[in-house]
Amino acid sequence: MSIRRWLTPVLLAWLTAWTGLAAAETDGQALLNNLTERDKAAAVTAIAESGDPRARRWLEAFADNKLSRMKDSGQFVVVLENRGRDWTVEGALTGEAIGEVSRRNLDRVRINNAMRSQIANTLALLDLTVDDIDQRRQAAGDLRGQVDEDLVGPVETLMNQASDEDVREKLAQALAIYRVEQGDVSAVSVLSGSLNSDARSALNGAAGSDDPAMAAAAQEAMASIEQKLKLNKAAETLYFGLSLGSVLVLAAIGLAITFGVMGVINMAHGELIMLGAYTSWGMQQLLPGQPGLALILAIPAGFLVSAFAGIIIERSVIQFLKGRPLETLLATFGVSLILQQLVRTVISPLNRTVVTPEWMSGSIMINEALSLTLNRLYIIGFALVVFAGLMLVMRRTRLGLDVRAVTQNRAMARSMGIRATRVDIMTFALGSGVAGLAGVALSQITNVGPNLGQNYIVDSFMVVVFGGVGNLWGTLVAGLSLGTINQLLEPWAGAVLAKVVVLVFIILFIQKRPRGLFPQKGRAAEG
């Protein structure tokens, strides 16, 4: 008795589900059968209005000429691959794979261009009724420039019924574009200020209209749009300038530390950046298919690799040349050439590409004229995090206290028991490690090659001198400022001339303020 009581509801539920599935199959078959009749337009409308979740798939297959019917059973199928004699198909009603079927056993459901146009309009309207708000917004945006006489009524109805403000605005613009093209002056005001390319195209056409009222209204609307475009262009330039400035800060901040503490002009600093970039590439070779994890692990790895290389350079070359800046410059230049050739020999002289993780790809759309690429946004954030970390090290640790003491007065620091040689080693390792972090960041916006560091060494020195030798705040302000200035100049001066202008500006600035924006304090600064 208990088994029967338990089994009865299960059987009823199964029977109900089977009956519902069978009914859905029957209704779907009837809808698809109508596509083989003479009045295909009515059949398309019936499918769209059926509310069947498979409607979009059927209409897309029909529009792509991939909807067929099996001759023997009358079953509708969607052709997945139509090469050779046998075609790969799946059931149109069930979505289940059927396999390969001889094309002789299939009857295509014929379609013409007029029907394709109707289906495109139908699909656009269909997307405006889905539950997903993002999909509705996308569909409303896609309708701009696509509205014709047949769509005016349905689009207007959907616009009045829409609960989302963004959907209503985009549908209003879609209708306004059509009406402006038809000569309706009153529709021009709807497009005033719109950054959509279809709206601007419609207004441009109307600005040359023979109707004086239409031409004047369109020209006024275009003037407001041009003003908004200029503002968005300025915002984009500022964003690119900040991202370039962030790269310069990362490249120069390590140099600022070593230059400020040791007074060493390290021409191999660019190659330390290159080693960090190659570490990113190497981590991706160790972890294929996991670019995100490889990049995260490359951050500490890049720091350690470049820091270790910096210690070797300091112990093998720089410690013997202290107090001889010209010889140090020439020696480190030689080290840079050795490192470049070492990479060419061991890895390759060709550039390597580092894969950008999915979470760093794409962009954030602010509006239709302004988007912020994610990789540059991450680099800006990364530069600020590295800067904050270095500030904590310099202000809150014993190493930072020793570094500041040696920077201000090396002799006095020695007399107080500070081991200046150890401070030099740790400082050079820290600065070199930060250069490695710069290389990790650069690997996400440019190709990795043996000459990567050479592109940033001169700019790094300019940032250090402009900001004030050894001052981290000066490096941050100088890097962001020079990056933004360079980006502002490039559109009208070109890349090379822009750098020349920046260099001349720094030379003139140093004539007035030899110690930079934020000069050092202490006896070392006075000397």
CA distances from 251 to 256, 268, 471 (A): 9, 12, 14
The pTM for the full model equals: 0.73
More confident residue, 24 or 67: 67
Kindly report which listed range (56-65, 287-296, 434-443, 497-506) carries the lowest average pLDDT score: 497-506
Looking at residues 504-519, what average pLDDT do you find? 77
pLDDT(80) > 80? yes
**In a 3-state reduction of DSSP, which class is residue 263?**
coil
- Least confident among 155-159, 192-196, 516-520: 516-520
**What region, left, alpha or beta, does residue 67 occupy, with left being phi > 0 and alpha being psi -120 to 50 degrees?**
beta
Query: What DSSP character marks residue 187?
Result: G
Give me the residue spans of the domains in the chain: 2-114, 231-351+375-520
Residue range 82-126, pLDDT digits in tens: 877 888 888 888 888 888 888 888 888 888 877 787 787 777 777
Residue 97 identity (one-letter amino acid): A
pLDDT over 90, % of the chain = 15
Q: Quote the pLDDT of residue 7.
A: 38
The average pLDDT across 494-513 equals: 79
pLDDT band at 520 (very low <50, low <70, confident <90, very high): low
Label residue 26 by pLDDT band (50, 70, 90).
low
Rounded to an integer, what distance in angstroms lies between the CA atom of residue 523 and that of residue 512?
21
Residues 98, 24 contacting (CB under 8 angstroms): no
> Is the confidence at residue 8, as pLDDT, over 70?
no
Neighbour count for residue 166 (Cβ, 10 Å):
14
Average pLDDT over residues 497-522: 75
Quote the pLDDT of residue 336: 92
- Count how many residues are written for the chain: 527
Between 394 and 525, the higher pLDDT residue? 394
Report, as an integer, the average pLDDT of 170-177: 90
Mean predicted confidence (pLDDT) in 157-161: 86
pLDDT on residue 470: 67
Distance CA 289, CA 331 (A): 41
Residue 508: what pLDDT? 83
Which of the pair, 256 or 23, is modelled with greater confidence? 256
Question: Residue 521: which pLDDT band, with cuts at 50, 70 and 90?
Answer: low
Q: How many CB atoms lie within 10 A of CB 142?
A: 15
Architecture of domain 231-351+375-520: Orthogonal Bundle (1.10)
